[in-house]
Amino acid sequence: MPIASPAQFAQMLDAAQQGDYAYPAINVTSIITLNAAMKGFAESKSDGIIQFSTGAGQFASGLANSDAAYGCIVLAEAAHRLAEQYDVLVALNTDHCQPEKAASFLKPLIEATAARRAKGDGNLFQNHMLDASALPLDQNLAISKEYLTLCAENEIILEVEAGVVGGEEDGSAGSDDTPEEHLYTTPEDMVAVYEALHDLGRFTFAATFGNVHGHYKPGAVKLRPEILREGQAAVMAKHGAAAEMDLVFHGGSGSLLSEIRETLGYGVVKMNVDTDAQYAFTRPIVDHVMKNYDAVLKIDGEIGNKKLYDPRTYLKKAEQSMAERTAVACSDLLSEGKTLFGQV
């Protein structure tokens, strides 16, 4: 199976919107985490989204280079080959990119897709995110218009954000001291976003409703999903039912399952999963090392156990654990068993 075409990705979003479910968007940084996400999607018979942050791109390009755009191109090209092994649809996205990084990150990635299209190949990416949420809304929308136009020329969907997701995660715009009023997108903001962008191309919108990046104990995150409902109602009251926006849920770790599922009825079609996936990957590695300390290290002049310090031994466990966490996300978001593979 190739990575979803632009038309297939649009149909994925339409199906989620109409069916009140959402796709997990799993952040990956390597071949191993790519495989983990795809394994989780395939075993859940769920389509899904894989995304790369600027930090992931820097990591993938190597310590000697730290080239975010180049690393993301490498990961995306690998994803196109790996996805051929699975019978589900997978779309590729880039995560938070602030305006000051857009020229050196988003533009080269859009150009890479344009180059593939010129050769008759499919899009490298189906979706990019421009996170200009730290700017005043008028400035945010001005730069969002610029990049939505560039994306639309290449059948790429642009994800935008207004309001700030609190906390910090791999370059995200928020911080732990984000003023509370900035954590909630207003209905007026949602109307303004729709009116500024809807004629330029397809976009998704990361509205904020108290969501916070990072991991917190259950109950610590104070979500207000009704903000999404009220914002959508304001947009549709002014522009009709067809104006309902495709919404994105950032910062879901620590959220109650009931709150996550409530958002699905208000237009959320994508939920980012990063922190939980990272922990799922790391936990079995730590377990392996702690249980086999004398084997993975050469203690007191001993030789250790090559079979146990071979990185493949513990990275296989990490891949399996992350795949299982991906499957949990599919279940939470009600996307399991709903692949469109072979139908579109």
Q: What are the catalytic residues? A: 95
Return the number of other C-beta atoms located less than 10 Å from residue 176's C-beta.
Answer: 10
- Measured over the CA atoms of residue 278, residue 72, residue 36 and residue 128, the dihedral's sign is positive
Parallel/antiparallel/unpaired status of strands 203-207 and 157-162: parallel
> Alpha carbon of 6 to those of 81, 121, 123, 157: distances in Å?
17, 12, 7, 8
Q: Which two tokens stand for residue 250?
A: 């950032």
Return the number of other C-beta atoms located less than 10 Å from residue 315's C-beta.
Answer: 19
Q: What is the largest CA-CA distance in the chain?
A: 75
| Spatial CB neighbours of 260, under 8 Å, sequence gap ≥ 6 | 249, 252, 271, 332, 333
What phi, psi does 130 have (nearest 5°)? -105, 115
For residue 166, give the DSSP letter.
Answer: B
Classify residue 71 by burial, with Cβ atoms within 10 Å: 0-12, 13-18, 19+: buried
Closest CA to 39 of 319, 269, 342: 319
